[in-house]
Amino acid sequence: MSHKSSNTVWHMPNINRKDRELLHRHKSAVLWFTGLSGSGKSTLAHAIEAYLYELDISTYVLDGDNIRQGLCGDLGFSDVDRVENIRRIGEVAKLLTDAGVLTITAFISPFKSDRAEVKKRFAKQDFIEVYCQCPIEVCMVRDVKGLYKKALSGEIKQFTGISSPYEAPEQADLVIDTSALSLDDSVQAVLNLLRDRQLIV
């Protein structure tokens, strides 16, 4: 399905991504955190942002709950709506990357095909997939919002990991076992990857 308007033409900007990266004094990319609810995606994403802020890196976290307060507030949790949710996030992440910002996303993004479609929008070096791997039993213990309990009781329909599938990445750039690693160690693992990719020093 195409989402392009037939009545518009892409306008080439006078200032491009390379110009903006020079202004920010660092390269841009997207860090895409995926994993079950309660796997630690948002906690890790915001901890990474705090660290990068101290390094004067321009960042922005696109967080699942926050995005559904506005941009994706019209979407539910059916498979169709989940696909559209991730498509929109991918487009926003692409715009922020073009703006020279190191963009961090924290979404369950349960379907491999959706993540693959987003990845296709980026150059290979610009899309870094981080899988927050965590047993669902641990995620349930961490569930401060009680979502798993509601899903198990049938109060929440199509909940990932219970009544809707989560398709784990097979070739993530980084896999972090958030049930075993501390937050600090998880942060360091991501930072080491960013250094390897020469996004930070």
pLDDT above 80 for 22 = yes
What's residue 144's pLDDT? 84
CA angle 194, 195, 198 (to 5 degrees): 90
By the 8 A CB rule, do 49 and 123 touch? no
pTM confidence score: 0.90
Is residue 74 within 8 A of residue 84, CB to CB? The reply is: no
Q: Which residue has the tokens 């890196």?
A: 57
Q: Which CATH class is domain 20-135+166-196?
A: alpha beta
pLDDT digits (tens, 9 = 90+) for 114-153: 999 999 999 999 999 999 999 999 999 999 889 999 999 9
Name residue 151's amino acid: A
Q: Decide if pLDDT at 154 tops 70.
A: yes
* Segment holding 127, helix H or strand E: strand 127-133
DSSP 29-71: EEEEEE--TTSSHHHHHHHHHHHHHHTT--EEEEEHHHHTTTT
Q: 184-195, pLDDT tens digit by residue?
A: 999 999 999 999
pLDDT confidence tier of residue 13, bands split at 50, 70 and 90: confident
Q: Output the pLDDT for position 64.
A: 82
Judged by DSSP in three states, 149 sits in helix
**Looking at residue 110, what is its pLDDT?**
93
pLDDT recorded at residue 11: 67
- Asked whether 135 and 192 are in contact (CB, 8 A), the reply is no
Q: Over the stretch 75-90, which tens digit does the pLDDT of each residue have? A: 988 889 989 999 999 9
The residues carrying an active-site annotation are: 109
- pLDDT at site 10: 67
The CA distance from 40 to 42, in Å, is 6
Question: Among residues 93, 87, 83, which one has the least CA distance to residue 32?
Answer: 93
Q: Confidence class of residue 156 from pLDDT cuts 50, 70 and 90?
A: very high
Indicate the domain borders of the chain. Answer: 20-135+166-196
For residue 2, pLDDT beyond 70: no
Residues 99, 129, 49: CA angle, nearest 5 degrees: 55
